[in-house]
Amino acid sequence: MTEIEKQHESTLEDVRQNQWRLLQVYLYYRLVLAVSLVGAYFLETSQSSRTTGLDERLYFTTISTYFVLSVLGLLINRLKTGRIGIQIFIVILIDIISIALLEYANGETNSNLTILLIVTVAAGGILVEGKLATFFAAVATLAILYKQILNGILHGNFKQDDFLQSAIIGIACFATSILAQQISRRLRESAALAGRQAEDLANLEELNHLIIQRMRTGIVVVNQENHIVLINEACWKMFGMPSMSKHQSLENFSPQLTAQLSAWRQDPYKRPKPFRSHATGPEVQSNFTLMEAGEQANILIFVDDNTRMAQQAQQLKLASLGGLTASIAHEIRNPLGAISHAAQLLQESTELSKGDARLCEIIHQHTIRANKVIENVLQLSRRKQVEPELLNMREWLQNFISDFQANQDQQCKIKFVCKTKDLKFRIDPSQIQQVLTNLFQNGIRYSEQNTGKRTLIVIADFNIQSEQPTLDIIDQGPGVPADQQDKIFEPFYTSEKSGTGLGLYIARELCEANQARLDYHPVTSGSCFRITFSHPSRIVTI
């Protein structure tokens, strides 16, 4: 069934439900009318008053039957069985016939019961439309005329005024039917329009809710008591998917966000500082705004992953420093090359003492180290554009580990574990190869220094909370002291005499260029460097 057919079927169902409700109202009116007629009959009987020409037996039989049929009709309607059109036809036809019989049994030429026919015809015009409503008006008009004809035949009392009055009532029945149909049609159109507008509003609200939930920007709405009114999925995942309860306090959700909200209330123009959403989460930036004017207005909080903005800022910084860095490096490399060459020539002299030869060796070693620093800086400033590819992590890492082990001077043992078979990740292959080469070399070197064995553990997994692939590189080294863990990714920071301090810095820069994140995680024995990749379906553009 197509969407148009579904909407048409839904519209027809709404019309049918509306007809059932209107018919039920009219059936209650019939029951009240039947009770009133029965009550009026017995009241006249108790007062020993009779209307002239009253056919008591026919009158009593008609009101009794009408009362029973009214109750029965209401019970059937509550069951909502059968076709609604047939029930309306039978009910209106019964009412016209019953009122006509009551008029005939009443015996008066001018009876107030005739007004009830107009009410019945109006109800028929409201409940149905078209030819059937006009049919009810025609039947009511014929019933009035036949009543006058029968009275004239049986009683020999033909009056022109009575026929004229009946004709006027018949015209009134048709006019009432037409007017009721017009009113009913307009009411249906208004109800249909209101229904469509309500449906559009519901669809719009659902669409807005879906958009908010699908936004990558985190959204939190809190009231004046700092209770969470709404939170979208992106923000929930950004803060590590904590357990949530209805109207949970923002303090329990994120103390840092609560502190920034309090600072914003005191000074709305103060820009909040970025903070880490949780221990292993990304760095986020929050912004606050009132949803409407007033003291009790809710506060809308936007939470953005600061990783992308940091990457863009880093790219701008590197672009501006690239030319300057290249020119400075070029100017330094020329005299550095001359110093290195002069030191090598000086070492070849036979007249040097052991002390002077040692000094020449030191000069040569440090020129090599300085040249390596220059090469790393040039490599960082001349970094090529990211070209991400969607790769199978298990297959790619198995090939990389095999190539890495084959290119090592000494044998090393790397244990690889992939917890998800079809784990995908999107990244630039050449850049992640450079990152992993640096991390693998560091890990094997520290493992050998601490245990004498060149071993490494590599674990690939999928974080269900953030829906992101992760890669852990775990060594058996001495680990990083707690006071140095915040510094190891800073440029030129190193704990080794021969190190340049740029390896981990470049590795993190390359990860961030691919919208990944490189973090250090302390473990019981050794060190763990975790790369958290972006969602596989996210296209990396820098």
pTM (two decimals): 0.48
What is the torsion angle, in degrees rounded to the nearest 10, for the CA atoms of residue 176, residue 178, residue 180 and residue 186? -150
Is residue 316 within 8 A of residue 306, CB to CB? The reply is no
Q: Which residues, in sequence order, are CB contacts of 311 under 8 Å at separation 6+?
A: 512, 513, 515, 542
- Per-residue model confidence as pLDDT tens for the chain (542 residues): 454 455 555 655 666 677 778 888 888 888 888 888 888 888 776 655 555 556 778 888 888 888 888 888 888 877 777 677 788 888 888 888 888 888 777 765 455 677 888 888 888 888 887 788 888 888 888 877 777 666 655 555 556 666 677 777 778 888 888 888 888 788 778 877 887 888 888 888 787 777 777 777 888 888 888 888 888 888 887 787 777 777 788 888 888 888 989 989 888 888 888 887 776 677 788 889 888 766 678 888 988 887 666 666 666 665 665 666 667 666 777 787 788 888 888 777 777 787 877 888 888 777 877 777 777 666 666 666 778 888 899 999 999 999 888 888 888 999 999 888 788 888 888 888 889 998 998 899 989 988 889 999 999 998 877 778 999 999 998 888 888 887 888 776 776 666 667 788 888 888 888 888 888 888 888 889 999 988 777 544 43
Per-residue tokens: 405: 């082990």
Tokens matching residue 484: 């140095």
- Are 276 and 283 within 8 A, CB to CB? yes
CA distance 381 to 476: 33
Q: What CATH code would you report for 309-381?
A: 1.10.287
Reading the block at residue 323, the tokens are 């030319």
Measured CA to CA, the distance from residue 391 to residue 425 in angstroms comes to 5
443 C-beta neighbours (distance < 10 Å), count: 27
Please name the fold of domain 215-306.
Beta-Lactamase (3.30.450)
Whether the CA torsion 525, 489, 439, 340 is positive or negative: it is: negative
Give the residue among 392, 418, 432, 444 at the shortest CA–CA distance from 531.
432
Q: How far from the centroid of its chain's Cα atoms is residue 109's Cα?
A: 71
Q: Where in the chain is the domain with CATH 3.30.565.10?
A: 389-532
What pLDDT score was predicted for residue 541?
42
Two structure tokens written together for 439: 């991390």
CA distance 107 to 51: 8
Which regions of the chain carry the CATH code 3.30.450.20?
A: 215-306
Q: In the chain, which residues fall in CATH 1.10.287?
A: 309-381
- SS3 for 468? strand
Cβ atoms within 10 Å, residue 478: 14
CATH class of the structural domain 389-532: alpha beta
β-pair partners for 389 = 427
Tell me what pLDDT residue 245 has: 76
Q: Point out which residues pair with 416 in neighbouring strands.
A: 458
CB 531 within 8 A of CB 518: yes
Name residues whose C-beta falls within 8 Å of residue 302's C-beta, 6 or more positions apart in sequence: 217, 218, 219, 286, 287, 288, 289
Amino acid at 523: V
CB 418 within 8 A of CB 397: yes
Residue with tokens 């070029």: 330
Q: Tell me the β-bridge partners of 460.
A: 418, 471
Cα–Cα distance, 514 to 532 (Å, whole number): 11
**How far apart are the C-alpha atoms of 276 and 243, rounded to whole Å?**
19
